[in-house]
Amino acid sequence: MARVVTPAQKSINTAAAWVVALIIFFPILWTFLTSFKPEEVAVASPPVFVGFDWTMQNYHDVIAQRGYGSYFWNSVVISVGSTVLGMIIAIPAAWAMAFVHGKRTKDLLMWMLSTKMMPAAGVLVPIYLMGKSLGLIDTRFMLMIVLMLMNLPIIVWMLYTYFREIPGDILEAARMDGANLMSEILYVLTPMAIPGIASTLLLNVILAWNESFWTLNLTTFQAAPLTKFIAGFSSPQGLFYGKLSAASVMAIVPIMVIGWFSQKQLVRGLTFGAVK
Amino acid sequence: MGRITLDKVKKAFGEVEVIPPLDLTIEDGEFVVFVGPSGCGKSTLLRLIAGLEDVSGGQIRIDGQDATHAPPSKRGLAMVFQSYALYPHMSVRKNIAFPMKMAGVPQEEQNRKIDAAAKALNLTDYLERRPGQLSGGQRQRVAIGRAIVREPAAFLFDEPLSNLDAALRVGMRLEISELHERLKTTMIYVTHDQVEAMTMADKIVVLRAGVIEQVGSPLELYRTPRNLFVAGFIGSPKMNLIQGQEAKKYSAGTIGIRPEHCLLSTDSGTWEGTVVVSEHLGSDTFLYVDLKDHGTVTVRGNGEVSLHHGDRVFITPDMEKLHRFDDKGLRMP
Amino acid sequence: MATQASRSAARLMISPTVILLFLWMAIPLGTTIYYSLQRYQLLYPDRSGFVGLRNYTRFVLSPGFGGAVANTLILVLGVLIVTVVLGILIALLIDRPIWGQGPVRILVISPFFIMPPVSALIWKNMFFNPSNGLFAEAAKYVGMAPYDFLGQAPLASIIFIVSWEWLPFATLILLTALQSLDGEQLEAAEMDGAPPLSRFWYIMLPHMSRAITVVVLIQTIFLLGVFGEILVTTNGGPGTASTTLPFLIYKEALLDFDAGTAAAGGVVAVILANIVAIFLMKAIGKNLD
């Protein structure tokens, strides 16, 4: 039985938690507010919080002058493409490891995880040169492949932990009931695994969307996603706070909303099922 | 039909032989219970018959046909799992329909069989629910329903009642026995609970460490256990086993007497001892008596016996029902 | 436990993943090692040839190397300490009965979804900027001189930014671990006479140890590669004050066009990462299942 807490205690706890939460969230809120300020208000001293003439001008400028659309589209194609590609390769592997659990399964999973330990910087040179000699630098295709490979261990791990939760008994029951491998996967496994597959998909789209080593180093303009778009504001345009904020909001909002919806599953996914 | 023959079937996991070569015949229509302590290989044996595990050697024949390497779905067997293994995303109706859907049974026939099974198992009102919305007993019945509609050559039950509470367990035990009476289909039932074995089986197979210790009807096992292990495993409370001097009087290594085959007296008898604990169940009274030289024995008295801790009692075993075992633990004639 | 048929099917299904990951690891690593032994200037591709370990000596002896290793370790450790400690405190705070736990969770988790260049730019321009950033305004308001965070304390500022990005992750995981703690255990400890601090120390912290291990492992994987934040805030400077190993390699390769030396740096980075990885894999291997 949970203990009854007095309203006074609860109020204090609530206030403290909200203060902390708002401090953590404040930079995002501030960026959001600033994105609607005329530039002169954005840099005003002392700063103005909400009492200004709200304007869409910054958004307008960013979209019209800086080609937001193409960056956004590149981000979508690269993150979704790499994730879907990874899922196609990872689902059978995770399925096999989860339901035909051998002695070496754990070693294999650990090895896959260890490939993530290789620092991207360590292999930047050969990847870059390989891409260059194949004419793939600054192509969405190359980024899709690279990000897919980078996230593959995570995808396999996540799916594995979700699949492991499906009791083997049920698959055996299906086998006894006369299902072959295809119908077992189609009628029994997939419907039960859909929540897991969905959250794996979402998390990896988020990771790919925000990846900012390969996306910055392997693109120049054609395939450049939003990370590159934002990095372009580092200077001196960064001093136009209104435009910087509008660009930032447009780069983060789509993925943040996805993140909010999938945050419950995030923990399990990101900890490889070690924390539930 | 459902006559299952195991011929020198063995199973090894790597180096470890969990079931040494084993022969067993299960007759058509028989209710056979595999019983033994956990880890005795009874579930593995069932899974070998089901085809969920490969045999490492020997042959499995179902109705004379070699099924040793047939996939589970081709053996014509149905299984009820310990966890029920219901498909959580399907309604009860779809769960029961699943094996028929896999077999390509026409829709009308499917519906007819589902309705019949649901009626027989009291599930008619629950057909559209998901397994998650059912009680343990109802889930159990759905699992059985899914098995029935296949009209299998034999039913396999893997500890099906162990997830139910005590009261439900007794009820389901009866239902499964009734089902067997009605269908007359071969049933193989795995349990670690000797009460389930005794009450349901036509034939009990007692297993230990992958080896069959004895095969027989419940009363055969009760009356003439082949060795000390079976003697100790079948019957509740356990048979009293006495070794040493007292056993030598009967020229045996160990003698055994069941609690219900002892006569109690407060003034005279073969063995003298003091009551350690008395359990009054109403219908019976179980006394745990310290016999000084021969250890503690359990004795069943009638419900009205009023003996308590520290009381002196005399016990006289029924000589007709005394079991004798040699030094190797085997039954002596 | 399974049948032979399913086992060979399983092998077939695993192999694409294994082969791809193996190639993804082996080819770049092999090529990196090969390049690291060659003279390889991107601007002068004709001047090439085997140079032995000269690239390594050049990279390791370059003035920035020691500092870069130190910066990398300070960055990783600093962020780990900040996020784990604050994460535990915030998790304890949110775990208590409060109104609006859902919205609070959402606010706290949000920074995790911000791409590194965005968070770095927001902090750099709108908060750290010594002339009109919010921190400077706040300093002015209380009558202090504004502080040039990125100029005066570049590494600490980057640790701050990266910690802000990863604090939600640590908090969320530690909170999840905390919520799985059986309340009766705490009540038992209370009955046994343990005051709150002891209950935290002897019951809650051990319960969270697995989650903490996981947080440390996963953050380390990502933190060793922190790049975007440095690129858009300090560009490794001032001087080399905030140059980490990944950034140093990037400078050699794409700014100085010296692929040979950069490759040598890459090998060094792989070796260092693997030293860390061995410890971490051991820890998590023990903690998983």
Q: Chain B residue closest to C1 (CA)?
A: B53
Q: What is the rounded average pLDDT of the residues A251-272? A: 79
C20/A149 CB distance under 8 A: yes
Contacts of B284 (CB under 8 A, 6+ apart): B300, B301, B302, B303
Domain boundaries, chain A: 7-57, 67-231
**Domain enclosing residue B306, as ranges:** 238-325
Section A82-95 average pLDDT: 91
pLDDT digits (tens, 9 = 90+) for B271-320: 888 999 988 888 888 999 998 878 889 999 888 888 888 889 999 999 88
**Is C32 part of any domain?**
no
Which option is the CATH number for A67-231: 1.10.510.10, 3.40.50.300, 1.10.3720.10, 3.40.190.10? 1.10.3720.10
What residue numbers bound the domain in which C184 lies?
A: 65-245+268-287
- Minimum Cα–Cα distance from A192: chain B residue: B89
Q: What digits encode the pLDDT tens for the residues B209-249? A: 989 999 999 999 999 999 999 999 998 889 999 888 888 88
Provide the pairing of β-strand B323-325 with B254-257.
antiparallel
pLDDT at A238: 57
Chain C residues near residue A9 by CB distance under 8 angstroms? 97
Judged by CB atoms closer than 8 Å, whether chains meet at C3 and B13 is answered as no
pLDDT digits (tens, 9 = 90+) for A160-186: 888 888 888 888 888 888 888 788 888
Mean pLDDT lowest among A120-129, B47-56, B182-191, B301-310: A120-129
Contacts with A3 from chain C: Cβ below 8 Å = 187
Distance between B54 CA and the closest CA of chain C, angstroms: 5
Looking at the DSSP bridge assignments, the partners of residue C48 are C40
**Residue in A closest to C127 by C-alpha:** A27
Boundary (domain end) residue, out of B231, B253, B282: B231
Interface confidence: ipTM more than 0.85:
no
Specify if B330 maps to a domain: no
| B50 within 8 A of B126, measured Cβ to Cβ | no
Residues B245 and B298 in one domain: yes
pLDDT at A274: 61
**The pLDDT of residue A1:** 41
One domain, residues B251 and B185: no
In this predicted structure, what is the pLDDT of residue A236? 65
Contacts of A169 in chain B (CB under 8 A): 81-83, 85
Domain endpoint, select from B175, B210, B231? B231
Neighbours of chain B (3+ CB pairs under 8 A): A, C
Tell whether the model's pLDDT for residue B23 goes beyond 50.
yes
- Select from B86, C164, B306, C226 the least CA-distant residue to A25: C164
Q: Which residues pair with B79 in a beta bridge?
A: B156
**Is omega for the bond preceding C238 within 30 degrees of 0, making it cis?**
yes
Contact between A151 and B69 under an 8 Å Cβ cutoff? The reply is no
Block residue for tokens 């392997």: A218
Q: Are C146 and C134 contacting, i.e. CB atoms less than 8 angstroms apart?
A: no
**From B86, B88, B102, residue closest to A178, measured CB to CB:** B102
Tens of each residue's pLDDT in chain C, 289 residues = 456 777 787 888 888 888 888 888 888 888 888 878 877 776 676 666 777 777 788 787 877 788 888 888 899 999 999 999 999 999 988 888 888 888 898 899 899 899 888 998 888 888 888 777 888 888 888 888 777 777 788 888 899 999 999 999 899 889 888 888 877 777 777 777 777 888 888 888 888 887 888 888 788 878 888 888 888 888 777 877 888 888 888 887 777 777 788 888 888 888 887 887 777 667 666 655 5
Tens digit of each residue's pLDDT (9 = 90 or more) over B187-220? 999 999 989 999 999 999 999 998 999 999 999 9
pLDDT confidence of residue A272 = 63
Is C116 in contact with A275 (Cβ distance < 8 A)?
no
Are the beta carbons of C108 and A96 separated by less than 8 Å? no
Q: Please say if the pLDDT value at position A117 is more than 80.
A: no
Provide the angle, in degrees to the nearest 10, between the axes of the packed helices A140-164 and C4-36: 140
Contacts of A112 in chain C (CB under 8 A): 17-18, 21
Residues of A in contact with C123 (CB under 8 A): 27
Last-in-domain residue among B196, B231, B266:
B231
Which residues of A fall within a CB distance of 8 Å from C270?
118-119, 122-123
DSSP letter at B329 equals S
- What is the number of other CB atoms lying within 10 angstroms of the CB of residue B310? 8
User: In the structure encoding, which two tokens stand for residue B246, read together?
Assistant: 């007292």
**Cβ distance B29 to B48 under 8 Å?**
no
Question: How many angstroms away from the CA of C3 is the closest CA of chain B?
Answer: 5
Interchain contact, A183 vs B72, CB within 8 Å: no
Q: Quick check: is C46 in a domain?
A: no
Q: What is the CATH number of the domain that holds C103?
A: 1.10.3720.10
Tell whether C201 is covered by a domain.
Answer: yes
Measured between CA atoms, how close is B140 to chain C, in angstroms? 25
Average pLDDT, stretch B126-142? 90
**Closest chain B C-alpha to C7 CA, distance in angstroms:** 11
Report which of C75, C80, C79 is spatially closest to residue C234, judged by C-alpha positions.
C75
Q: Which of C48, C122, C142 to mutate to test the interface with A (most CBs of A within 10 A)?
A: C122
**C279 domain-assigned:** yes
Q: How many domains does chain C have?
A: 1
Interval B255-263 mean pLDDT: 91
CA distance B224 to chain C (A): 37
- Span B68-100, pLDDT tens digits: 888 888 888 899 988 888 888 889 999 999 888
Mean pLDDT, chain B, rounded, equals: 89
Angle CA(A77)–CA(A82)–CA(A86) in degrees, nearest 5? 150
Beta-sheet strand order (sheet of B254-257): B240-243, B254-257, B323-325
Residue C229 Cα distances to C75, C118, C242, angstroms = 12, 9, 11
For residue B38, the surrounding DSSP H or E stretch is none
Beta strands C48-50; C38-40: pairing state: antiparallel
Per the structure, the count of domains in chain B is 2
Structure tokens belonging to residue C232: 């858009």
- Are B83 and A187 an interchain contact pair (Cβ–Cβ within 8 Å)? no
Structural domain contains residue C259 = no
SS3 C81: helix
Answer yes or no: is C53 within a domain. Answer: no
Q: How far is B197 from chain A (nearest CA, A)?
A: 23
CATH of the domain at B245: 2.40.50.140
What's the pLDDT band for A268 if we cut at 50, 70, 90? low
Encode pLDDT of A34-69 as tens digits. 888 888 777 777 777 777 778 888 888 888 877 888
Pairwise CB contact (< 8 Å): B71 & C1 = no
The reply to whether A27 touches chain C by the CB within 8 Å rule is: yes
Question: Which residues of chain A are within 8 Å of residue C45 when distances are taken between CB atoms?
Answer: none
